[in-house]
Amino acid sequence: MSDETPILDEAIIAELRESVGGDDGFVAELAAAYLAEGPDHVRAMEAALARGDVAGAVRPAHTLKSSSAALGAMRVSVISKAIEHAAREGRTEGLETAVAEARTAWEQTVAAMNERKLAG
């Protein structure tokens, strides 16, 4: 499912830029903050699963979902949302795969943002 979702949704980035009055500097700061804290959330999800604490994956997945959505990193957002819901309901099946997908999508996002110089 996530493969169909774009890594970066240009329309959302454009919307974000417009909502802050075309301030590219601010968008760059926001992207930098996102890139700085994102790895913590991905790691936190991995660590939770590694110690068998499914519920522990809810919060990092939730946070990653919303901050990714804000910056148009839709693939990470969609995968994180699926992880959040599954973890909250205690559905472990496919959870490990999903977290691995999130890791991949995250790395793709970092690459895409760097390529696009979104963070300046």
CB of 79 to another protein, least distance (A): 15
The four Cα atoms 79, 58, 42, 3 give a dihedral, to 10 degrees, of -10
From the CB of 113, what's the least distance to another protein, in Å? 13
87 lies in the site for another protein, by CB under 8 A = no
Task: Pull the structure tokens for residue 53.
Answer: 């604490």
* Contacts of another protein in 41-70 (CB under 8 A): 58-59, 62-63, 65-67, 69-70
Stretch that binds another protein, among 1-9, 18-26, 99-107, 109-117 (CB under 8 A): 18-26
Q: Using alpha carbons, select from 14, 12, 61 the residue that is nearest to residue 40.
A: 61
Integer Cα distance of 30 and 36 in angstroms: 10
Specify the DSSP element, H or E, that contains 91: none
Residues that bind another protein (CB under 8 A): 12, 19-21, 26, 29-30, 33-34, 36-37, 58-59, 62-63, 65-67, 69-71, 81, 85
